[in-house]
């Protein structure tokens, strides 16, 4: 099913909260995906961009979305997850690095790979302008893709993107003394300025604070022209501040897999259901795919059955432990055909051999081999014995007696 504006909650208003007399527009609470903790205006912009260009990407770009990126920017993760939602492939380009170094030192790259993105690190320089040039060369050589520029495109359907941003202005107070807008590419800022006009919000002062100290007059003017409006944006004062923020982002942790026990959930006169499980613990704060399990079942040392449990599309919830169970129905007829020596009954030793493979982003699969022993009861014939004969009625013309017989069922299940 193709995502819609409603399913992506693009036009849902995020809240405005007040702390110590200051209002905060909590656009960080826009979080359309349950499996990955991505939030904020850039996620909304990417959703709006791919929604507006869906048919173009599908029909003319080979379903591929490509973006240049830097190692510390979340744009790659955002594009990878949004592209996945639309059923598109994604390509993230980095520079001046190698795959092994990126995966060890930069969890954002690992997250992108986890979400299915293809990673390219062939550009010699790491600046986004250089990775964009490298992407341009790939496109010139025949690569079909939809190019999401660093900072998100303005040229592709700016109307839909910026109006989705400006829509959020509706619930901010009408007559603020001051409105402060942090800026990067100024796409969000331009959308907010459009929203102020559209919804007649009149703050007394507006400050655009750029995160790197660059003037973005040209970008705002470009956005204004795209929307067919103009803004007087005088630079009243230019100041540069250097701020550093420390933080941590969790790396993807390898799931822990431990063997469970051999069980016989069901047994009757015709056969038995045997089962075993691997307990999979997901230590990550997001769902992970259930591992693929190749299994083989042997009875009395003789191979009896084998298959693959792929669990396509199955997901293990965040911070959860769940058994991945293998079940097999064994009929006594097939069992004795495979192992004739078991015809006399009793029980036979069994062995489940499980080979699990967990797909780990951009690395070889994490594998584990487990053996779970057990025993399966073999059908035994009941024993019939005569315990005695007693005379019940004796006459000249009639003789009635009772034969006392005992039927012993040595099986672990009831018989008729």
* 416 inside domain: no
Between residues 323 and 137, which one has the greater pLDDT?
137
- Dihedral (CA of 34, 366, 371, 270) sign: positive
Q: What pLDDT sits at residue 236?
A: 45
Same domain, 147 and 167: no
Q: Of 35-44, 60-69, 70-79, 227-236, where does the model show the most confidence?
A: 60-69
Percent of the chain with pLDDT over 90: 22
* 267 inside domain: yes
Among 23-32, 156-165, 224-233, 405-414, the minimum mean pLDDT is found in: 224-233
Q: What pLDDT sits at residue 152?
A: 61
Return the axis-axis angle of helices 187-198 and 41-52, rounded to nearest 10°: 80
* 389 inside domain: no
For residue 324, the cross-strand partners are 278
Same domain, 266 and 322: yes
Nearest to 217 by CA among 201, 238, 198, 197: 238
- Residue 308: phi and psi, rounded to 5, are -130, 130
Tell me which residue range forms the domain holding 77: 1-153
Same domain, 51 and 147: yes
Among 63-72, 234-243, 403-412, the minimum mean pLDDT is found in: 234-243
Same domain, 64 and 182: no
The answer to whether 152 and 189 have CB atoms below 8 angstroms apart is no
Q: What pLDDT sits at residue 64?
A: 96
* 137 inside domain: yes
Nearest to 226 by CA among 160, 146, 168, 182: 160
* 25 inside domain: yes
Q: What is the CATH number of the domain that holds 62?
A: 3.40.50.1100
Same domain, 101 and 8: yes
**C-alpha distances in angstroms, 251 versus 39, 76, 97, 100, 366?**
18, 16, 19, 15, 16
Please state the rounded mean pLDDT for residues 30-34.
91
Same domain, 39 and 59: yes
Same domain, 284 and 367: yes
In the predicted model, is pLDDT for residue 410 greater than 90?
Answer: no
Same domain, 120 and 196: no
Calpha distance 127→124 (Å, rounded): 9
Percent of the chain with pLDDT over 70: 82
First to last CA, the chain: 53
Same domain, 334 and 197: no
* 411 inside domain: no
Q: What is the CATH number of the domain that holds 282?
A: 2.60.40.10
DSSP 8-state code for residue 342: G
Last residue of a domain, one of 153, 186, 207: 153
Last residue of a domain, one of 110, 135, 153: 153
Last residue of a domain, one of 103, 129, 153: 153
Please state the rounded mean pLDDT for residues 251-255.
74
Among 5-19, 38-52, 271-285, the minimum mean pLDDT is found in: 271-285
* 246 inside domain: no
Q: What pLDDT sits at residue 26?
A: 93
The answer to whether 63 and 89 have CB atoms below 8 angstroms apart is yes
Between residues 287 and 84, which one has the greater pLDDT?
84
Q: What pLDDT sits at residue 326?
A: 86
Same domain, 214 and 281: no
Between residues 84 and 346, which one has the greater pLDDT?
84
Same domain, 304 and 213: no
3-state secondary structure of 161: helix
Please state the rounded mean pLDDT for residues 250-265.
81
* 241 inside domain: no
Structure tokens, 226: 């795209």
Owner of token pair 């956005």 = 223
Instruction: State if pTM tops 0.75.
Output: no
Mean pLDDT value across the chain: 81
DSSP H/E element including 358: strand 346-358
Structure tokens, 403: 């034969």
Q: For 209-247, how does the pLDDT look when each residue is reduced to its tens digit (9 = 90+)?
A: 877 656 666 666 666 665 565 655 444 455 555 555 565
Same domain, 285 and 225: no
How many domains in the chain?
3
Calpha distance 59→324 (Å, rounded): 40
Q: For 90-133, how does the pLDDT look when each residue is reduced to its tens digit (9 = 90+)?
A: 999 998 888 777 777 788 888 888 888 999 888 877 777 788 88
């Amino acid at each position: 099913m193709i995502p819609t504006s409603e399913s992506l909650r693009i036009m849902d208003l995020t809240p405005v909260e007040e702390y110590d007399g200051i209002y905060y527009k909590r656009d960080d609470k826009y979080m359309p995906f349950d499996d990955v903790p991505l939030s904020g205006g850039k996620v909304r912009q990417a959703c709006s961009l791919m929604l507006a260009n869906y048919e173009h990407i599908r029909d003319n770009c080979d379903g591929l979305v490509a973006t240049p990126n830097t190692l510390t920017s979340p744009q790659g993760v955002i594009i990878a997850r949004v592209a996945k939602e639309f059923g598109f492939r994604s390509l993230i380009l980095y520079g001046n690095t190698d795959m092994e170094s990126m995966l060890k030192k930069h969890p954002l790259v690992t997250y992108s790979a986890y979400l299915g993105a293809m990673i390219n690190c062939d550009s010699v320089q790491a600046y986004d302008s250089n990775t964009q040039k490298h992407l341009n060369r790939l496109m010139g050589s025949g690569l079909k893709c939809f190019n999401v520029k660093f900072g998100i495109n303005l040229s592709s359907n700016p109307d839909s993107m910026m109006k989705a941003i400006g829509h959020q202005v509706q619930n901010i107070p009408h007559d603020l003394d001051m409105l402060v807008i942090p800026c990067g590419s100024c796409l969000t800022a331009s959308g907010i300025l459009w929203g102020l006009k559209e919804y007649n919000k009149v703050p007394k002062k507006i400050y655009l604070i750029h995160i790197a100290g660059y003037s973005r007059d040209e970008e705002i003017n470009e956005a204004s022209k795209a929307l067919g409006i103009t803004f007087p944006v005088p630079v009243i004062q230019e100041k540069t501040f250097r701020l550093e923020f420390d933080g941590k982002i969790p790396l993807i942790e390898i799931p822990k897999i431990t063997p469970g026990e051999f069980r016989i959930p069901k047994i009757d006169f015709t056969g038995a259901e045997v089962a075993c499980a691997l307990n999979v613990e997901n230590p990550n704060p997001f769902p992970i795919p259930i591992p693929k399990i190749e299994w083989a079942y042997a009875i009395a040392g003789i191979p009896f059955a084998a298959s693959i449990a792929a669990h396509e599309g199955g997901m293990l919830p965040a911070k959860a432990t769940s058994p991945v169970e293998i079940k097999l129905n064994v009929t006594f007829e097939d069992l004795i055909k495979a192992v004739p020596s078991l015809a006399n009954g009793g029980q036979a030793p069994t062995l489940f051999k499980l080979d699990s493979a967990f797909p780990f982003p951009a690395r070889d699969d994490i594998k584990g081999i487990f053996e779970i022993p057990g025993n399966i009861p073999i059908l035994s014939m009941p024993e019939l014995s005569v315990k005695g004969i007693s005379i019940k009625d004796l006459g000249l013309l009639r003789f009635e007696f009772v034969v006392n017989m005992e039927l012993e069922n040595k099986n672990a299940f009831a018989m008729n």
